[in-house]
Structure 1
Amino acid sequence: MASLKFLRNRISSVKSTQKITKAMKMVAAAKLRKAQQNAENARPYLEKLNSIISNLKNSVTDMDSAPKLLVGNQKNETHLCVVLSSDRGLCGGFNTNICRKAKVFFEKILNERKNLKVIVVGSKANDQLKRKYNQYIIDKISLKDEKVISFGKAQEITDKILNLFARNEFDICTLFYNQFKSVISQIPQAQQLIPVSIEQKLNQQSLASNSEYEYEPDENEILENLLPKNIATQIYAAFLENQASEQGSRMTAMDNATRNAGDLIAKLTINYNRTRQAVITKELIEIISGAESL
């Protein structure tokens, strides 16, 4: 049976932990509002950009002369995977879910005997992936010095990807991140960046208007300038989705931790009271026994 001192110390320790988790939940809730707003504000811009690129793609007649970022290099041998995670923990399954999605994709590529290259963004992805896929990691990007992820960081990653593509070091590039749905729901995504892959739900009105566009200069020249910006925008939007997902996951995790700490405190308090009562009863029995012996 645990001593009273041990139980008191344990209860005090759990109460201190509960205060920390409760404070972290409140901080995450405050950060979530702005992160969610930023992610939601970026979606209409991204959808409109996808619509423009889709219209331009449908207008291209000679695919042989089209930009390589649009059609690729007609190969499917080397895959570059960019995995976005965070540099901070205590956010539930946020980082694990992204890495699990990436690992399934990695295994598929390796089972098909194709080449794999990985760029990890955030130390948590690196910690989870380096155990098995360290030989495939070609670059590690830390976010520890970034209090707020800016478009410049997304552009920096885009430049690295474009430089690798210009040197023909990969054929297909895929981005992994979490899409924010709600505080309790964040969905891991695998978005193909190169060649561009646009999934667009077009209504009848947009389908009817596609044939009415005329471009000046021609479509290929516009795409040459627009596609690199599209990649940077996709990465920046993924950062915003990740930030909202991270705060939502942390808020949920800290709420669960606070509740669990409360349950543990209740159990320890009951155990403490029973132990204390047993000690008092034992002392009374010893006193009564000593008095009777006299």
Structure 2
Amino acid sequence: MAGIKEIRTKIKSVQNTRKITKAMEMVAASKMRKAQDRMRAGRPYAIKVREIASHLMSANPEYSHPYLVAAPQERAVGVVVVSTDKGLCGGLNTNIMRVVLQRLKEFQSAGVSTQFTPLGNKGLGVLTRIGANIVSQETQLGDRPNMERLIGAIKVQLDDYMAGKIDAVYVATNRFVNTMRQEPVFLRLLPLPDGSLKSPFDEEQQSALESKYGWDYIYEPDAKSVIDDLLHRYVEGLIYQAVAENMASEQSARMVAMKAASDNAKKVIGDLQLVYNKTRQAAITKEISEIVGGAAAV
């Protein structure tokens, strides 16, 4: 009967685990809808501000902002890594960190030094373990992007870029495709990619005006003030959208992972109950045989 007791304890343990994973699945499903709404609401702004910033590169040649000027050769770069603060979301963090480590290896082989700004505890943990150069960080981001907290960490990279310490700033995040699919992306934030109007977060949407028209603007009060402010909005918009995309991806991945865990727990419970019934039946049969054998001996 000791075997029966152990199996019963195991069944109870798996049932308790299934209750937890089922609850986490429901919580993630609730948060997922809000995160996806925020992500989709921010996409049009991120796309449009990127388009306008791209148009400015050719519209006003007499003033060239440092954000629009690419260095002849990259000697040092900054990388903003967007990850989650918590685990239990499938391979989401593993996939983005695999891309980051691959690009880090490419930079090192080319003799390019790197400095990192992790946004999220999981990315911070990986970068700390490999001994990466971390110049700023921000963790415990919560369920919605907070621009004031994000820009404080990003400002270190922006200041180094303006001072000439680094030649480019990259962003690594997860792009939300649908509930079942999230893709890691590694995109250049600064300097602005030449001639690219395609959004890094929506590959299907591209400006129809890219090749048809030239662009000219009338600036008030002056070109420098307008362009400077617009490019700061471009950086803020892209960082905000990168975090919003990752948060939507996180909740979707967690819901799918917890659903798979709940389904697996249900299957394990069924298998254990079958073993329990067989073991219990064998024990009862053995006891009956012993009783019958004893009676026949008498």
Alignment TM-score, normalising by the size of structure 2: 0.90
What is the CA-CA distance between 1:217 and the residue it aligns to? 5.0
CA separation of 1:206/1:123 partners in 2, compared to 1, >3 Å: closer, same or farther?
closer
Paired residue secondary structure (1:149): coil
Paired residue secondary structure (2:136): strand
AA matched with 2:235: I
Paired residue secondary structure (1:210): coil
Please give the residue correspondences for 1:1-294 in structure 2 after superposition, counting only pairs within 5 Å.
3-62=3-62, 66-132=64-130, 134-143=131-140, 146-197=142-193, 198-200=196-198, 201-203=206-208, 205=209, 207-211=211-215, 213-217=217-221, 219-294=223-298
Paired residue secondary structure (1:268): helix
* Structure-2 separation of matches of 1:44 and 1:34: 17
Unaligned runs of 5+ residues in structure 1 are none
Q: Contact 1:69 / 1:195 at 8 angstroms: preserved in 2?
A: yes
205-214 vs 113-122, greater mean Cα deviation: 205-214
Unaligned runs of 5+ residues in structure 2 are 199-205
Cα deviations by residue, 1:42-96 (Å, 9 ceiling, x for unpaired): 011111111111111121335xx51111114444011111101111111111111
Aligned-pair identity in percent equals: 34
* Structure-1 separation of matches of 2:212 and 2:220: 21
169-178 vs 135-144, greater mean Cα deviation: 135-144
What is the CA-CA distance between 1:154 and the residue it aligns to? 2.5
* Structure-2 separation of matches of 1:236 and 1:143: 15
AA matched with 2:277: N
Alignment TM-score, normalising by the size of structure 1: 0.91
> Going by fraction, where is helix more abundant, 1 or 2?
1
AA matched with 1:136: N
* Structure-2 separation of matches of 1:11 and 1:264: 8
* Structure-1 separation of matches of 2:135 and 2:174: 22
Q: Contact 1:83 / 1:175 at 8 angstroms: preserved in 2?
A: yes
Q: Contact 2:38 / 2:244 at 8 angstroms: preserved in 1?
A: yes
What is the CA-CA distance between 1:148 and the residue it aligns to? 3.1
AA matched with 2:181: S
* Structure-2 separation of matches of 1:119 and 1:2: 55
Q: Contact 1:59 / 1:219 at 8 angstroms: preserved in 2?
A: no
CA RMSD of aligned residues (A): 2.0
AA matched with 2:124: N
CA separation of 1:223/1:213 partners in 2, compared to 1, >3 Å: closer, same or farther?
closer
AA matched with 2:79: C
* Structure-2 separation of matches of 1:39 and 1:293: 80
